[in-house]
Amino acid sequence: MNTTKRTILSLLVCIFCTLNAFPKNYPMSEVDNARLGHAVELADQGQADSSRYILEELVKKYPENYLVNYEYTYTLCQIGEFKKANKILRSLENHPEATARLHAMIGNTYDYMGQPSKALKAYQNGLKKFPNSGILYVEQGNLYLNQRKYNEALSYYEKSIEVDPMYTTGYLRASMLYLSSSEPVWGMIYAEMLFLLNPEAQECAVLNKHVVEALRKNIKNENDTLHVTLTHRNNIYMPKKAKANDVMDALLSAYSSFEVPYEANVGIAAKIHGYKDTIDFDLFTKIRATVADSIAGSVYTLPLFKFHKKVIEAGFWLPYNMAIYGSAFPVEYESYMSKEENVSQLKAFATWLNLYDFPNEREQVSKNVYEREILRKLDD
């Protein structure tokens, strides 16, 4: 896996197919190539009318050019001409330069026109050509999210993570849903994965605040008893007339998964470090370090926790947590950054991280793949 160089807080940036420069082999003049770039910039700035004016001229001049037509449909969508955009997009389906994003756009235009069944079919047709496309699974998830079918939406978001772990929108969508569910543990994990893979995402700061609040909300000290509720798997559900196999399946589901050991270790760590009624930055980092230490070497571990262990061993646990979660602890962050030695430590951490390849176990990044691996090992 290739990683990019980064600044002090840009921990690990994954660059996927964004438009940074236009290929030199397009049959366009240098002037028109520059005009196309300018039109794209205008569209990105919300100036759709100005962008459209340029693109319409370029489409007339270069009717067979894929990128010109594609960018034109993007502008059409911005101004609400979805039917016209859909027609052009469908005409590009068999173009040799067509990508998964084209099929995503076709589905989106159907959705904008109030035709979700056609949108779903468009995404599925795209997956026949691009079976490992994260964006097409995410768009299907969005379709179900709009219908408030949250479980279905989550299944598609996690499928996106499974087949295309470098496409970070899957982590974003899954994290948002999980953090507002009875299973916030996965929201916490996916939010951190999002930051590691795309620290420049604007949603990171908001999500990471929700992660801290999830811990505060789901760790309670009542009558000298610590209650941790980060997963619903500590409750075992089975039919009233359950047979022996049903009981075993329910137990296997609850205790062979990652969630229950993680929750138990969070509770133990909170107790060890003197949790009373809230979580400040110091306690937050101590809980996370203790959990990482206890779970990294177990059968329930994930690549993220192996990475935590490496960060701790390298002596960068504090700057790592400050870089990610500092926005959730503004007072502590301001105090930390006011000291020159701490800034130097952050720079040293960034240098160390440039040499670290994460995630380095592609097949275990997603929850679904990980759990299947655990069940397979138990069967063996």
Q: For residue 366, is pLDDT > 70?
A: no
Mean residue pLDDT of the chain comes to: 83
- In this prediction, residue 147 has a pLDDT band, given cuts at 50, 70 and 90, of very high
Range of the domain at 214: 204-380
Nearest to 304 by CA among 134, 189, 174: 189
Residue 274 lies in a domain: yes
Q: Is the pLDDT of residue 257 over 50?
A: yes
Torsion 252-258-264-265 (CA) sign:
positive
pLDDT digits (tens, 9 = 90+) for 327-336: 999 999 999 9
Is residue 70 a part of any domain in this protein? Answer: no
Q: Round to whole Å and give the CA distance between 352 and 301.
A: 23
242 located within any domain: yes
Q: Is residue 45 part of a domain?
A: no
Q: What is the mean pLDDT of residues 174-201?
A: 90
Within a domain: 291 = yes
Question: Does pLDDT of 52 surpass 60?
Answer: yes
Residue spans of alpha helices (H) in the chain: 30-44, 48-61, 66-78, 82-91, 100-112, 116-129, 134-146, 150-163, 169-179, 184-197, 203-218, 244-255, 259-272, 281-295, 303-313, 317-325, 330-337, 340-354, 367-379
pLDDT at residue 374 in the model: 41
Question: Does 293 fall in a domain?
Answer: yes
Count of structural domains, the chain: 1
Given pLDDT bands bounded at 50, 70 and 90, which one contains residue 19? very low
Residue 375 has pLDDT above 60, yes or no: no
Q: Tokens 């087949």 belong to which residue?
A: 163
Task: List Cα–Cα distances, 52 to 19, 26, 46, 164, in angstroms.
Answer: 18, 20, 11, 33
List, for residues 95-133, the tens digit of each pLDDT value: 999 999 999 999 999 999 999 999 999 999 999 999 999
- Beta bridge partner(s), residue 220: 227
In a domain, 271, yes or no: yes
* Burial status of residue 15 (CB atoms within 10 A of its CB: 0-12, 13-18, 19 or more): exposed
Say if 39 falls within a structural domain.
no
